[in-house]
Structure 1
């Protein structure tokens, strides 16, 4: 665990932050804050205390203590399933997939999908990431000395990757339509409802989610047709995620995924896989522009390893500073910055009573900036990850932990390092005065207004 004592001086310039709450919100205030920015529900005291509790429609507890988080995510994971609100938000897009399912339904899907993300399979998909890094670089070459929205560029790059490794070839799969449907879903359907705040049961309809579901239904229809076509045509010469999932089976039962199960899991990978990595890359580029010295050091590392070529899977281990920048971006701006669970049994967390039905919130954003866990918690310091053993495992949770740790974590890290190192080797990025991004969370922690940077060739 890092030394908790040093804190930044008041005049220290820090990268952009979310202003956390300083007064009780009440039900109506919570709804307004949640629809503007979910992190507005987190009180400022959460970065100083191990647990914060309250009642807004129903009882809740925000947990920032590593030992308690280990208990929730690993030791007593069955007692803390994903909350009703989480399922209501995610099911319109990804059904009862690996990310949402619980109990036996989750277990057999996890056993089936885990081999798909083995080190060998992830490394075999790296050429798609290298090609996407080359295409992103080519696009940026068209704008030397000009400003560009790097968030849009990173979304384009990572969507190319996930589309190519999920439905390679893409026959009958309209990628642009899928992208639009995901954007609509995140922008509207994923927003908090007053019924969520009040703790209304799941069978009470949330009107916004009924209205905004048509695009995702069309996306599911397209995915079903693409899966059926692949079944009739057979696997690709180089297997993609769809081929690997179709070939997978639960080793204990021999069960294989149906078309609907394949589709829901592939859409999970598409929604989560491109959005989270695009955000990590966008925030990492913003931070490199924010700190020119770190950027220059990372550029020197990347140029020494890569020369004139784009990065590959074999280069990832030889780019330690780039990896530390990725980790620090994940700490400061975790894509999944606010998680919630429902307590299914009586318990005690940090000495506080937890009742069955209470909502237990894991505010990862507050955890990653906690004053008792991190030195200079709001500062950009990639060096803090030079010795990973110095960081408490449950103080840094960009991918969760325990049996439900993100199945695609290695995929995401590999992709982020390949794309980031390629771009840093070839370009210089500088901030634009007055155009700092604003961290806003709806489903993920996005830079509202984009990440606008000046670009010059290195």
Structure 2
């Protein structure tokens, strides 16, 4: 549809306008975590309240900088987050704190160097080709592009983790962790009330057996690779097996490797799939943007699939992805627990307070963004004009996502390849609903018509 015919903004989460209370917050959070965010958070630098315990939502870039950089150790991940994820991914990079996090980060960082990420680009190109082939074979029927993007990005992460290890069932890993998150990842009343870690959470207790079996299988795969040695072209497991902390020379044990690989398998494909699914929805929603992106992609690619070397030549494709990540950040809300007294935005923070950064509201805050609910990739044409801590699709500070460059390279390769070959249009009445349990997913799928061009 032409820009002049767009009469409504793209889909968004309805935020609350009145206090919910403990039980109301529980009901809302179990449906959609983001629905507990007050609409006021899109118009203020900070909002505070009490729901069982004191909480604060911070949307001010300077205060966020203090939390994520200047006073990082005072704001570790909240107990809610750790309780939710520890059974699945242990004390991996995503959860670990302090010295235990630092040595793992130093050990893993070389695996995600620019050179290594570029070496993995052919895997991304091949996956983009297979996606295009599936879409072409679908014919003139609607296709759920959210589901296809999950398949595409899982193909990539499977190839760059346990590539060629036929004895390890990556699909089972994906299903196991996804089932764990679906069953155990919903906020329990115990978490909202701030009950201590030792009080059992029923749903998480029930899901422990499947996780234990999955971890055992992953351990066997790691040990088999350790015994066999690296592949001719090293994959992510090879790089991590070869890695050592440059300061202490410590290497990851098998359980540490396994927990980090499980983290990369899930985070490394779902977040990228979400960025791509939402990008395709937005391009179908605004045909002028899609036409401009297609012209850029076709001029660069000249009929072939995109490669790692093409990424720098596709700035508008990247802007679309950046804008999709602003409107629909995969991690729409992050939570921290203050360890000591502090002051944010002139407001007192007490030890034990829950301090949240509602990234969904930050990215739509009227104090920081012009027409914040509108889809406008050109706002990223000059990235220097965007306050650094106003845009956090991958977090920031020392704990910025280690795989951010991997994800962005993959997203540009896939989106450019598809837009160069197909015109995507919406299916009437099938708009996705942005719903966050652990990540911000398009509930109902992204159903689009795809026409070869």
Q: What's the TM-score bracket when you normalise by the shorter of the two chains?
A: over 0.9
Matches of 2:346 and 2:355, distance apart in 1: 14
Superposed CA deviations along residues 266-287 of structure 1, whole A, max 9, x for unmatched, are: 0010111111000000000000
Q: What's the CA shift for 1:213?
A: 2.9
- Return 166-175 or 331-340, whichever deviates more: 166-175
Report the 3-state secondary structure (helix = DSSP H, G, I; strand = E; otherwise coil) of the residue aligned with 1:52: strand
Instruction: Give the one of 193, 199, 223 matched to 2:194.
Output: 199
Instruction: Give the one of 285, 307, 314 matched to 1:319.
Output: 314
Spell out structure 1 runs of 4+ moving beyond 6 A.
none
Superposed CA deviations along residues 85-142 of structure 1, whole A, max 9, x for unmatched, are: 0000111111000110001100100010111100000000111100100111111111
Matches of 2:430 and 2:198, distance apart in 1: 43
Report the 3-state secondary structure (helix = DSSP H, G, I; strand = E; otherwise coil) of the residue aligned with 1:146: coil
Does 1:337 find its partner at 2:343? Answer: no
Q: What's the CA shift for 1:214?
A: 2.9
Q: What's the CA shift for 1:374?
A: 0.3
Superposed CA deviations along residues 147-182 of structure 1, whole A, max 9, x for unmatched, are: 000011000000110111011103211122112112
Instruction: Give the one of 158, 170, 173 matched to 1:175.
Output: 170
In the alignment, what sits opposite 1:448? 443
In the alignment, what sits opposite 1:267? 262
Does 1:439 find its partner at 2:404? Answer: no
Report the 3-state secondary structure (helix = DSSP H, G, I; strand = E; otherwise coil) of the residue aligned with 2:167: coil
Which aligned pairs between 1:393-432 and structure 2 lie closer than 5 A?
393-432=388-427
In the alignment, what sits opposite 1:240? 235
In the alignment, what sits opposite 2:120? 125
Does 1:218 find its partner at 2:213? Answer: yes
In the alignment, what sits opposite 1:3? none
- Return 170-179 or 446-455, whichever deviates more: 170-179
Report the 3-state secondary structure (helix = DSSP H, G, I; strand = E; otherwise coil) of the residue aligned with 1:142: helix
Instruction: Give the one of 61, 65, 70 matched to 2:65.
Output: 70
Q: What stretches of structure 1 of length at least 5 have no aligned partner?
A: 1-8
Contact preservation (8 Å) 1:127, 1:312 = yes
Matches of 1:170 and 1:28, distance apart in 2: 47
Contact preservation (8 Å) 1:429, 1:455 = yes
Matches of 1:135 and 1:214, distance apart in 2: 35
Q: What's the CA shift for 1:217?
A: 2.1
Superposed CA deviations along residues 407-426 of structure 1, whole A, max 9, x for unmatched, are: 00000000000000000001
Matches of 1:288 and 1:214, distance apart in 2: 42
Superposed CA deviations along residues 290-347 of structure 1, whole A, max 9, x for unmatched, are: 0001001101110110111111100000000000000000000000110000101100
Matches of 1:368 and 1:186, distance apart in 2: 25
Which aligned pairs between 1:378-397 and structure 2 lie closer than 5 A?
378-397=373-392
TM-score, structure 1 as length reference: 0.97
Which aligned pairs between 1:282-361 and structure 2 lie closer than 5 A?
282-361=277-356
Q: What's the CA shift for 1:457?
A: 0.7
Matches of 2:449 and 2:206, distance apart in 1: 39
Q: What's the CA shift for 1:383?
A: 0.3
Q: What's the CA shift for 1:144?
A: 2.8
Instruction: Give the one of 99, 103, 107 matched to 1:104.
Output: 99
Contact preservation (8 Å) 1:432, 1:453 = yes
Q: What's the CA shift for 1:12?
A: 3.9
Does 1:249 find its partner at 2:240? Answer: no
Number of residue-to-residue matches in the alignment: 449
